[in-house]
Chains A and B, each alone.
Chain A
Amino acid sequence: MTKKSKLLLGAIIVAAALSYLIYGGIREAAVYYITPAELNEKGASAADRSFRLGGMVVPGSVHWDPGTLQLTFRLTDGKEQVAVMHTGSPPDLFKEGTGAIVEGKYNSGNLFIASTILAKHSEEYRPPQAGQAQAKDLYRTLMKPPEERR
């Protein structure tokens, strides 16, 4: 075998190894986007895979216990709802009535265990609405004159 063909063979082996890595990576790491209705339809068959579940946070469904850091809420696509549980603080952008995408797995108890919450951030500018409390009104009790803080 000439040096050139040896080199070519080496290159082919490397390329094959790379393709195998990439193929396997995609098979294992692909996470499908899914709506609450689609998830309910899949039911128990969806239990072993990770999904990205997208929907609107149902108003009034959010409960957060600061002691145990358990966050529970329901996501809806307008048709059906899925109960979601997450351990940790709700992200800043997470709010009732706004969109959120959660990534995680469906457990057998019809509960979606989310490892990550990706709140949807709207880039649109919205001026402070009338009647909406200013931050400084909400946290009046914390206010201190500047010289007291270092």
Chain B
Amino acid sequence: MNRPVSERTSGTAVTDRILRHALTDRVLHWLMAACTLILLGTSFLPILGWQFPWVTAHWVSGFVLIAAVLVHTVRALFWKDIRSMLIGSADLRDVRALARFNLRLSDAVPPRPGKYSLAQKLIHHAFTGVVLVALVTGAIMMAKIDTPWWDSNQYILSDATWGVIYVLHGLTALLLITMVMAHVYFALRPEKLLFTRSMVLGWITRKEYRTYHDPERWQVK
């Protein structure tokens, strides 16, 4: 029986299974997902009528999310191959082929992507932007609540500036509703389940690697 490959590096192939997401990255992904769901639940459920003491759970999960995002960012910048997530000229060339194929203007099957497809890169970058704005505005709003480390102070900003902070925080929360729905939908689609499995167990099979990825664009060691 084949066992999952060593989890030290992404894209390592020792057996039939190829590591797509290392354990640390999977833990970070699910930690960020759990924090996001708790943040959405503790913000919107009280508005929808389910009253419970939500403030502490909200800011604590926000703190955990900030920490997880910082660890992920440092890992991505210094330990991971960040180029695999950047949108490059090859991705832009793929757009034309994808559009022509899906609009039935061409029978040519679009090129296979590297480790991440253009759609995966776009949703990642959308989450990055929206979550960062939510975290920065949320961190500023922490000034208005009592924590173990400081007392609340609502006078650090003008009313007008607070208004902008509230609008940005609320807008990003609303955007996250739609984005989480779309993300979960695509993760559960039959043809995408291998990627969801790899985010749970870490690996894809060598056959899946050859079928869904261009070995030239995602080179497995």
State whether these chains interact: no
Which A residues fall within an 8 A CB radius of B? none
